[in-house]
Structure 1
C-alpha cells in the first residue's frame, strides 16, 4: 500500500510539471550558402600627364611630347591635362614615362623674360630708385651720368635705355614672394621695411646689356619711373651709330651683314666706354680734319676715339 501511494504521488507530480520550451533548430547549411554576395568596389583612377619621349632641359613642351595615363593615386605636384603645360619649359631632363611635375619646370624670373631679353641687376639706392617707389612690373627710363676722366672728354647726363621692365626691386619680384608660412611672411615683411633696396633686376634686350654694364661700372645710373601708357621711345636711327669693339671679317655676304644686327651678335661685338661717351668720328670726317681747315691742329687719341684740337 505504501509503494502504491508513492507511485501515485510521483505520477501526479510528473503530470503537473510544465513542459520545457522548444529548442530552435540550427539553420540549414544550404540556406547560409545561398545569401547574396556584394560586388567589390572598383579602385579609383586619376589622370596623370607623363613624358611621351625624352625631354631635354631647356625644351619648350609641345603636345606631342606628352601623354596621359590613369594612375591609382593623384600627384600633388603633377598635371591632369596636357593643356595646362602649354608654354612651359623643362628645367631638368625628363625621361620618357616620367610624370611631369612642377619641380621639373622652369621657375622664378626666367619665366618672365621674353625672347631676346636678359635679366641684369643694377645697383640702386633711395635717390637713384625714385625714392624706393619703384615696384616690380613698372616701366622705367634708365639715365646715366659720366664724369670727366681720361676716357671721357667731359661730364654728361643722358638717356641710356627707355621703357625697361623692372623684374625685381630689392626683395620684391614680379612672381610674388615664395610660399612660406604666415610667421615667416610677417618676419620677411618687417625685415624688408627695415632694409633699403640695394639692387634692381631689369629685363634688357641682349644687345643693350653691354652699354648698361659699362654705364653701371663707370658712371651712375638713375631710374626714372614712367607711365605704363606712355610708349614714346627715342629713335636711334637719327643719331650716329657706335662702332663695335670687335672688328668684322672681310668679305661678308649681304646675309651675313644682316646677321650683325641681331641681338646676340651686337652683344658679342662689344661696347667701349670711349664710344659710350660719344660715337667715334667717321673716317671721312677724320681725314678732312687732318687735311683741310685753317690753322694748326693736334690729334688727341683716347682709347678708341680720336679728337682734333686747334691751337
Structure 2
C-alpha cells in the first residue's frame, strides 16, 4: 500500500509538471496575429489575458495565461502580446503580479514585476504617499467590514474641557491592508486589530498625533466619488441639545453678629450687637 501511494503521488506530480510545461510551450509557440497575415482578420491581434484570477504578489505561471484575439484598434498600449515577456527562461526567477489581475483581463506590463523582483506593499502605493497602521477593534473598524481597497473617513474622539468631542480629521483615505491582508479582491471580512492606510506625509503626522490624543474610528464611504467637505467638531452637549446651566448668583454673606450678655437687676439678658 505504501509503494502504491508513492507511485500515485509521483504520477500526480508528473502530470502537473507536464501540464505546466505544455501550457508554456503552447503560449510561447503560439504566433502573434497581426494585420496582413493570411487567414486572419485585418483588425485583430492576439493578446495575453489571465486564465484565472491572479492575486497581488503571486508568481506568473503558464497555466494562468491564455491567448485570445483582440481588436487591434482597442489594444491598450501596455498590453502583453507575447508570452515570452511574462515567462522566465530556464534558471531565471519568475515575474509576479504587482496588482491583482482578474480572470479574462488583459495582462499589462505595468501590473507585472521584473524577473525575480521582490513584491511588497510599496508597489501598491501611489506616488508621494506612505503606509501607516492604526489600532482598531470591532467597533472602530466598522464591525470588521473594512477590506483593502475601501475608502474611509477617520474620526477622532477625545475628552476636551471636561466633555467629549468628535472631529473628522481625514477624509477619503484608502485602506491598503487589514492586519496582514493586502489583496483588494478579498471578500472575507474579519475583526482586525490594525488597519493600514495610505496617507501623505502631512496626513501621517496628523494621524500619529491623533492616535495619542484619543480614539480613532473609521467610517466607510460609499462607492460614489463624494467630494470632501468641511465638517465641524461635535460635542456631547450638541448631541443632547442640553442648554447650558443657568448662572447662579452667589448668596450674600450673612452679617456677622456679636452676642453679649447683660446683667440687669439680677437678670441676665443676651443682646446681639451688629
Pairwise TM-score range, normalised by the shorter structure = 0.3 to 0.5
Which protein has the larger Cα radius of gyration, Structure 1 or Structure 2?
A: 1
TM-score normalized by the length of structure 2: 0.42
